[in-house]
Amino acid sequence: MIDVIVIGAGPAGVLAAARAADLGARTALITRDKFGGMAANDGPVPVRTLAHAARLMREARQLGQYGIAVSEPILEYPRLLARVREVVTDVRTHSTLREHVDRLGVTLYEQAGTARFVDPHTIETESGLRLQAEKIIICTGGTSRRLSVPGFELTATHSDAWGLTSVPPSMLVIGGGATGAQVASIFNAFGSRVQLFQAAPRILPTEDEDVSAAVAAAFRESGIVVRENFGTIESFEKTPSGVRMVFSKDGVRDSAEATLVVVAVGWVANIAGLSLVTAGVETDHRGFVRVDAYLRTSAQHIFAAGDITGRLMLVPQAIQDGFVAATNAVRGATTRLGDQVSPIGSFTDPEYAQVGLTEAKARETHDVVVAVVHFDETTRTIIDGRTAGFCKLIADRATCTILGCHVVGERAVEIIQVVAIAMAAGMRVDDLAQVPLSFPTYVGILGRAAYRAAQQLNLEVSWQAHQVED
């Protein structure tokens, strides 16, 4: 019997295996497919590469504004897909994680097929591997949610985009969350006629309301048809040129059709085939593995980390989970999962990003001040011709610290990282306003927002770095 088996080699599993081995445990890492999981092979890396291509097309169209004459960019989708594959391979080749787990002596079983519990300490895989361990860490991630409506098999997921040989002339994207918004934004830039259907009253429902509204407005302006609150899907049907979606609202039937329908209506836990019941591992009402603050499941020797736990489903959180779960598996449950500042962003056009509380949530529990700076007020955005967007900073009147920040516009995701650092450091807005941020930069907008918040709080900002902008 070995010490620790980790199931799933995405960011959570890789970090868990590395940490367990680093603590001296004899560790095996088993994964169904390739090392790296969703993050490296099917999520952020390929999607970000497509988003970059979309961005390059937009930049190419801007060249004329700066006196550079070129013809209209033409996308060769197969070549772009080749580039995506190249990037995925390159990222994997340059990842030091693989080398790290090898160096630490982790035994890696790649492409081992689906693993399952045979008893609470024994794992067997489809390839016939059978291993026993004192402790087991489940890091099997998630997968796209399926809808039980007739004709669902006619629809695609974001992963199917890699299999297309050309850009579909038209596309319905069902689901206006982070993944749906990215798919809609990217394929709109590539020339598809995109309709984005959102069942909820607004797209990006977990973002600040102003962010949802701004992104929806920008999407509409760029030609995407955004249909919020559209009703309930009844079925999907094959048509001569694609797929028709039939839906109804308030008893009225309607339909929309396109060459391709991409469904992005949420993420469910990857528990199929694991036989969790055999191990006494319980799931919650959404089907995710239930864990306590030590990432321990209902079976005391089994831990879980990453998307499979159904909390913030992002790479940095999966990594932190993997570390905590492995520490507790090897040393005993001593390390709690701390409250963390978690920046979140998406690479749509325009980008959007957030950290901390939305304005509505902050107002429920705090007396707040809100400072907004629009992108058309700052030098760098004007230089670059990227004047659409805003930065909203929310501060607590009592402590003068930052409760949340929301940015829509160019480099929003990068800007929000700086706020996350300021929040993690517990900085007050007047302290932030006094940092001499470089000029002219996108991040400079934060100095201005912090200064405006400080003014509302009657705080003195002695070294007025923002003055170069104001």
Ligand X SMILES: Cc1cc2nc3c(=O)[nH]c(=O)nc-3n(C[C@H](O)[C@H](O)[C@H](O)COP(=O)(O)OP(=O)(O)OC[C@H]3O[C@@H](n4cnc5c(N)ncnc54)[C@H](O)[C@@H]3O)c2cc1C
Tell me the window of 29-37, 333-341, 421-429, 459-467 that interacts with ligand X (CB under 6 A). Answer: 29-37
CB closer to ligand X, 31 vs 381: 31
Q: Is 204 in the site for ligand X (CB under 6 A)?
A: no
Tell me the window of 36-44, 220-228, 247-255, 282-290 that interacts with ligand X (CB under 6 A). Answer: 36-44
Query: Of the candidates 139, 199, 329, 446, which one interacts with ligand X according to CB under 6 A?
Result: 139
Q: Is 141 in the site for ligand X (CB under 6 A)?
A: yes
Please work out the total of residues on this chain that contact ligand X, with binding judged by CB under 6 A. Answer: 35
CB closer to ligand X, 28 vs 461: 28
Q: Is 318 in the site for ligand X (CB under 6 A)?
A: yes
Query: Of the candidates 172, 258, 313, 420, which one interacts with ligand X according to CB under 6 A?
Result: 313
CB closer to ligand X, 158 vs 244: 158
Q: Is 307 in the site for ligand X (CB under 6 A)?
A: yes
Query: Of the candidates 6, 17, 22, 43, which one interacts with ligand X according to CB under 6 A?
Result: 43
CB closer to ligand X, 116 vs 392: 116
Residues 114-133 touching ligand X, rule: CB under 6 A, are: 114-115
Q: Is 274 in the site for ligand X (CB under 6 A)?
A: yes
Shortest distance (Å) from residue 303 CB to ligand X: 13
Q: Is 370 in the site for ligand X (CB under 6 A)?
A: no
Shortest distance (Å) from residue 55 CB to ligand X: 14
Q: Is 283 in the site for ligand X (CB under 6 A)?
A: no
Binding mask 149-168 for ligand X (x = CB under 6 A): ---------x----------
Residues 79-118 touching ligand X, rule: CB under 6 A, are: 114-115
Query: Of the candidates 39, 189, 256, 453, which one interacts with ligand X according to CB under 6 A?
Result: 39
CB closer to ligand X, 274 vs 420: 274
Q: Are 403 and 362 a contacting pair, CB within 8 Å?
A: yes
Tell me the window of 85-93, 136-144, 204-212, 371-379 that interacts with ligand X (CB under 6 A). Answer: 136-144
Q: Is 324 in the site for ligand X (CB under 6 A)?
A: no
Long-range contacts of 289-295 (CB under 8 A, 24+ apart): 289/138, 293/336, 293/337, 294/324, 294/328, 294/333, 294/334, 294/335, 294/336, 294/337, 295/321, 295/324, 295/325, 295/328, 295/337
Query: Of the candidates 32, 244, 428, 452, which one interacts with ligand X according to CB under 6 A?
Result: 32
Tell me the window of 7-15, 163-171, 427-435, 438-446 that interacts with ligand X (CB under 6 A). Answer: 7-15
| Residues engaged in binding ligand X (CB under 6 A) | 7-13, 30-33, 37-39, 43-44, 47, 114-115, 139-141, 158, 179, 270, 273-274, 306-308, 313-316, 318
